[in-house]
């Protein structure tokens, strides 16, 4: 009886096996990046992550995320190397077509396609060979922008690249929508805080710019100290509330143009406690930090401040930060009772307060980030006072 031959099991061809392994590699990367993408709330850092992830997954030389600005009918993008923002019309070019038709556009030879604009290459010095562009949409299918890949390493983009880019674009669209909603929420929180803080500042004749400067100074100083992104976010929102307790101080004291009496100073020094009562017992992290800032920003490093006479590390860090930047702003701006101090005199007064009024480590950091502080000061300078008329 003839021996029965065993049938050989079918094996994928070498090319197909390579393709399957590459697809597996991409899915693994996509899964890993999806976790990271879903946790990014800050739009600039999310855009950088999307560019980095898409280039690695699709083996592309470059990638660009274009976001739609419906009001201006423009697409904007931020350069990852310089952080500069550039804009293009939303209804033109390859990206515009991908969004309008809601489909992937694969161009193997850029210079052979009439839709490609070579002026971009001439301006940047980059040579585009191939392009792969996919639309980005939100959960309801509304356009958010587009993701464009440039120059597949080792050849043109394939159908597998198109499929993978569609999968990645779905993840990117969800993350971008979440980041947009988060930014809108943060803007609403900031607007509410500034409006509440302005109620106290109106009584004391300070301006909205004072609140903005103190907020931004605090964020810059916190960054220089190496504090976390979340801590910096909190201090930017909490610092404008430092004088909210002035709502409890009589107008006659706050608006008095001359020197205060001892009794009036007693009333004025109550405003940190008033602020603590207004903001106390909150569950929200921003309001909890705001309460500590309001209560402790007049404490001094050597224990000579008020209302509790705290000293050194017993004073919350956020209150020490605000104490320093608030004094800087008070000295360098015009007030009803004084002209602005010069920068030289202001820095001398701050340096004289090292170890007495101010935390020495914070003053050192303040000097290091002074160029950023001065840039904010120029950007949010108070309007010049109106000139006095000589008319009778």
pLDDT tens digits for 244-301?
Answer: 998 888 888 887 877 889 999 999 999 999 999 999 988 889 999 999 999 999 999 9
Residue 226: both structure tokens together: 């190496």
- Please provide the size of the chain in residues: 392
- The percentage of residues in the chain with a pLDDT greater than 70, rounded to a whole number, is 90
Closest CA to 133 of 169, 178, 184: 169
Q: Choose the weakest-confidence range: 172-186, 187-201, 340-354.
A: 187-201
Q: What are phi and psi of 104, to 5 degrees?
A: -80, 135
pLDDT-based confidence at residue 12 (cuts at 50, 70, 90): low
Rounded to an integer, the average pLDDT of 340-364 is 97
Helices (H), the chain: 14-39, 43-58, 93-101, 119-124, 159-204, 208-224, 229-238, 251-254, 262-268, 271-279, 285-296, 317-332, 343-352, 360-368, 370-379
Chain position carrying tokens 């009778």: 392
pLDDT of 18 > 90? The answer is no
Domain borders along the chain are 26-180, 205-379
Closest CA to 199 of 135, 260, 249, 244: 244
CB atoms closer than 10 angstroms to residue 220: 22
Is 41 annotated in the active site? no
Most confident range, picked from 108-122, 186-200, 272-286, 353-367 = 353-367
pLDDT-based confidence at residue 205 (cuts at 50, 70, 90): low
pLDDT of 29 > 90? The answer is no
Bridging pattern class, strands 74-78 and 105-107 = unpaired
- 238 alpha-carbon distance from chain centroid: 16
pLDDT at 200: 67
Residue 238: both structure tokens together: 């909490």
Query: Which CATH number is 205-379 given?
Result: 1.10.3210.10
pLDDT-based confidence at residue 204 (cuts at 50, 70, 90): low
pLDDT at 130: 94
How far apart, in whole angstroms, are the C-alpha atoms of residue 106 and residue 16? Answer: 22
pLDDT of 5 > 60? The answer is no
Question: For 328-338, what is each residue's pLDDT tens digit?
Answer: 999 999 876 67
Residue 148 · residue 165 · CB < 8 Å = no
pLDDT-based confidence at residue 391 (cuts at 50, 70, 90): very low
Rounded to an integer, the average pLDDT of 4-20 is 64
Output DSSP code: residue 85: E
pLDDT at 388: 54
Rounded to an integer, the average pLDDT of 364-371 is 98
How far apart, in whole angstroms, are the C-alpha atoms of residue 237 and residue 183? Answer: 13
343 Cβ neighbours under 8 A, 6+ residues apart: 332, 374
Residue 255 · residue 203 · CB < 8 Å = yes
Peptide bond into 387 cis (omega under 30): no
220 Cβ neighbours under 8 A, 6+ residues apart: 369, 372, 373, 376
Chain position carrying tokens 């004084």: 338
Cα separations in angstroms, 256 against 252, 306, 329 = 6, 21, 21
Sort residue 198 into left (φ over 0), alpha (ψ -120 to 50) or beta. alpha
Cα separations in angstroms, 196 against 186, 211, 240, 288, 377 = 15, 11, 9, 15, 23
pLDDT at 231: 96
Closest CA to 162 of 37, 57, 292: 57
Output DSSP code: residue 280: -
Residue 234: both structure tokens together: 């909190």
pLDDT of 188 > 50? The answer is yes
Output DSSP code: residue 91: T
pLDDT-based confidence at residue 20 (cuts at 50, 70, 90): confident
How far apart, in whole angstroms, are the C-alpha atoms of residue 331 and residue 353? Answer: 13
How far apart, in whole angstroms, are the C-alpha atoms of residue 46 and residue 338? Answer: 46
Cα separations in angstroms, 146 against 40, 109, 171 = 19, 20, 13
CATH of 26-180, one of 3.10.620.30, 3.20.20.80, 3.30.450.40, 3.40.50.720: 3.30.450.40
Q: Do domains 26-180 and 205-379 have the same CATH topology?
A: no
Say which of 8, 41, 203, 246 is annotated catalytic. Answer: 246
The mean of the pLDDT values for the chain is 87
pLDDT-based confidence at residue 1 (cuts at 50, 70, 90): very low
How far apart, in whole angstroms, are the C-alpha atoms of residue 11 and residue 124? Answer: 47
């Amino acid at each position: 009886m003839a021996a029965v031959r065993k049938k050989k099991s079918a094996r994928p061809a070498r090319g197909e096996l390579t393709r399957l392994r590459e697809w597996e590699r991409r899915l693994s990367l996509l899964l890993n990046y999806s976790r990271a993408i879903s946790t990014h709330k800050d739009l600039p850092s999310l855009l950088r992550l999307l560019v980095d992830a898409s280039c690695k997954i699709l083996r592309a030389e470059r990638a660009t995320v274009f976001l739609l600005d419906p009001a201006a009918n423009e697409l904007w993008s931020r350069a990852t190397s310089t952080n500069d923002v550039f804009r293009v019309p939303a209804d033109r070019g390859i990206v515009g077509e991908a969004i309008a038709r809601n489909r992937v556009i694969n161009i193997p030879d850029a210079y052979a396609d009439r839709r490609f604009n070579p002026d971009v290459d001439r301006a940047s010095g980059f040579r585009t060979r191939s392009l792969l562009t996919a639309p980005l949409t939100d959960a309801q299918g509304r356009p958010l922008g587009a993701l464009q890949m440039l120059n597949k390493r080792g050849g043109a983009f394939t159908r597998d690249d198109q499929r993978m880019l569609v999968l990645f674009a779905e993840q990117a669209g969800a993350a971008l929508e979440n980041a947009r909603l988060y930014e809108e929420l943060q803007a609403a929180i900031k607007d509410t805080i500034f409006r509440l803080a302005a109620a106290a500042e109106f009584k004391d004749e300070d301006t909205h710019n004072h609140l903005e400067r103190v907020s931004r100074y605090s964020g810059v100083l916190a960054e220089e100290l190496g504090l976390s992104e979340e801590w910096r976010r909190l201090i930017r929102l909490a610092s404008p509330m430092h004088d909210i307790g002035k709502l409890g101080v009589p107008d006659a004291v706050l608006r008095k143009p001359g020197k205060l009496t001892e009794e009036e100073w007693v009333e004025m020094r109550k405003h940190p406690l008033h602020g603590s009562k207004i903001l106390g017992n909150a569950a929200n992290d921003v309001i909890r930090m705001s309460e500590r800032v309001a209560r402790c920003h007049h404490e001094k490093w050597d224990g000579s401040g008020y209302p509790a006479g705290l000293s050194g590390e017993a004073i919350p860090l956020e209150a020490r930060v605000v104490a320093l930047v608030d004094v800087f702003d008070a000295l360098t701006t015009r007030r009803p009772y004084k002209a602005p101090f010069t920068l030289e005199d202001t820095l001398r007064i701050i340096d004289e307060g090292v170890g007495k009024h101010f935390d020495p480590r914070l003053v050192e950091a303040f000097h290091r980030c002074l160029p950023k502080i001065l840039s904010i000061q120029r950007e949010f300078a108070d309007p010049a006072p109106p000139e006095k008329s000589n008319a009778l």
